[in-house]
Chain A
Amino acid sequence: MDAAPHPQRKSRWSKFHRSPLFDVTQFSILVILIVWFFSTSTEKLGYNWQWYQIPQYIFTHDESGYYAGPLWEGLMVTLRISGVSLVLAFLIGLTTALFRLSHSFVAQIIARFYLETIRNTPLLIQLFFIYFVLGPVLGINRMTSAILALSLFEGAYASEIFRAGIVSIGRGQWEAAYSLGLSTFDTYYCIILPQAIRRILPPLTSQAISLIKDSALVSTIAIYDLTMQAQAVIAETFLTFELWFTVAAMYLVVTVTLSIIVNYMEHRFKVVS
């Protein structure tokens, strides 16, 4: 260690450096910089911000109560599609992971084929394929096509996450279950999956968030979800910037809420091993 500077000066700086005041100062400087950056750049655009116009598209109200605006309705459609797809993706993912891990050759082939085709093609293409090609053949409607495409796509990634979780459970757990005479089903249901799922909640949450965001693509097959509704309102009002910021914020609220719920669940069901 070199000779220290004047001890009193050093300790005063160190104290400030480590105090909360330093963090607050740092953060405030950062916020000021960001706001300054945005305000100068948007000034240059010469855009006429009309934020006051936005709320009416989310909801309106008169004497008889609240009415949902187009954005709110779109949000409900998005939530419905995402919700159903999440559940299906979870089931498809878990089944595929179990297939991959099974001793049956046929199960492994099916899982492998599914994974390789779905993971190597874009979601948008799969969506179009299911809606335009499979749709007429199987007689499925728009909503079903959308949910099917989303579930299959996200299910493939979810299955690899599940498989990683299952494989991470130590051999000793399998051997103990085996020695007690537990069936394969009971071993998975009582021992392996409860432990595996707790471990993979973080990447599973990321996948769920991906799904919610990817649901915006269903607007391409004319489903009136949040994104589609935003496009419709913009076409009428040209409130481009305000609307896209608002819609982005709405997606953000949904995904952050999901994260908070999952974090709470993780905390509640924590396993110390």
Chain B
Amino acid sequence: MPIEVERNDIIVVERINKTFVGGIKALVDFSTHIRRGEVVVVIGPSGSGKSTFLRCLNGLEEIDSGSIVIDGILLDDAKKNRLEIRKEVGMVFQQFNLFPHMTVLENVTLAQRRVRKKSKQAARAMSMDLLEKVGIDEKADSYPSQLSGGQQQRVAIARALAMMPKVMLFDEATSALDPEMIGEVLDVMKDLAREGMTMVCVTHEMGFAREVSDRVIFMEDGKIVEVGTAEHFFTAPVEDRTRLFLSQIL
């Protein structure tokens, strides 16, 4: 499927393939493009390759063939390119992955100081702004173990945002949270979407998808089954498999 590469595309994925050791084909000739400021939600059954796709976007997983271009930079073996992309793409994990031996504030300032080479004061100022934005500035000197899951995930979002990325990837960011905490994290994500951040989210939260996504991609067995706007998706899906999946989760 040829991609029409528009000027406004920030991510261009062309026919990527990924097979895991053991022969499992995670991604098969997968292609897509994502515009600046677009919020794309990726849904699909377990094992469909959606997390793998996300992790390929910032280089956590290596592709076997095909190409990924992010903000004009080709994701290849060149160290310089990889580093640029890692700086421009932020990721939020299902398991938060905060650094337990550092306070919340230190978690958020670390990469700013080490990678962006900011001064202590500048990093601290930015960190406090971001913590305030996600609603946990009063916990700045606490350790991650002292926070609830929802609070930890919000710190993780602030930490990723501190690098001022152009794209934010969310890998099932709310799947490990207790139901009453999902809302607070989704609120932060919705705010982010409304502010114009380019986001790619793997999620099961259909309410979130309907509310803020520009496009929904449904994947199965490493391939795209259907792509469309949220409206189209939830009111008039075309493919049978899409309809089946939606009936199971909605």
Contact = CB atoms under 8 A, between A and B. Distances in A.
A182 interface: yes
A121 interface: no
A179 B100 CA distance: 17
Interface stretch (B109-117, B182-190, B214-222, B226-234): B109-117
A172 interface: yes
A176 B86 contact: no
Interface stretch (A107-115, A186-194, A259-267): A186-194
Nearest to B89: A179
B60 interface: yes
A27 B111 CA distance: 56
Contact of A173 (B90, B97, B145, B159): B97
Contacts of A194: 101
A23 B45 CA distance: 60
Nearest to A180: B111
B97 A181 contact: no
A194 B110 CA distance: 14
A272 B97 CA distance: 14
B163 A180 contact: yes
A183 B58 CA distance: 15
A195 B86 contact: no
B98 A176 contact: yes
B100 A272 contact: yes
Nearest to A186: B114
B182 to A, nearest CB: 20
Contacts of A176: 91, 93, 97-99, 156
Contacts of A172: 93, 95, 97
A198 B156 CA distance: 23
A183 B110 CA distance: 12
A175 interface: yes
Interface residues of A, number: 19
B160 interface: yes
Contact of A190 (B98, B114, B143, B163): B114
Given A176-B98, A180-B111, A181-B111, A272 B145 contact: yes
A2 to B, nearest CB: 46
Nearest to B114: A186
A271 interface: yes
A194 B99 CA distance: 10
A272 B99 CA distance: 11
Interface in A176-227: 176, 178-183, 186, 190-191, 194-195, 198
B5 interface: no
A223 to B, nearest CB: 41
Contact of A273 (B59, B86, B145): B145
11 contacts: A175-B93, A176-B91, A176-B99, A179-B58, A179-B60, A180-B160, A181-B83, A181-B111, A182-B111, A190-B99, A272-B143
Given A176-B91, A180-B86, 15 more contacts: A172-B95, A175-B93, A175-B97, A176-B98, A179-B86, A180-B111, A181-B86, A181-B163, A190-B99, A195-B99, A271-B100, A271-B101, A272-B100, A273-B100, A273-B101
The 10 nearest A-B residue pairs measured at CB: A273-B100, A176-B97, A180-B111, A172-B97, A179-B91, A181-B86, A181-B87, A272-B145, A181-B115, A271-B101
